[in-house]
Amino acid sequence: MRKCLRCEAAMVEDLEVMVTNGGYGIAAKEKGMFKKSLGKIKCAVCPECGYTETYIDDTKNIKNLIPNKEM
């Protein structure tokens, strides 16, 4: 359960983010042409104050972008 950062109320989660006028949603992807998607962006909305945040559920692909710091 996500809590609102402003008023600490329970947020409504797993909502879709859509582009107005017929878009198919938005996704995060690596920089550059023909790079793979990092995941579908979702949002959560606070029913009390209206604060909205975006997130990606599966962070595995994002973690793979962090350079290995082993020496």
Residue ranges of alpha helices (H) inside the chain are 60-63
Phi/psi at 46 (5° precision): -80, 125
Q: Please give the average per-residue pLDDT across 14-35, as a whole number.
A: 79
> Is the model's pLDDT at 11 over the cut of 90?
yes
CA-based R_g, the chain, Å:
15
Q: What is the mean pLDDT of the chain?
A: 86
Please give the average per-residue pLDDT across 9-37, as a whole number: 83
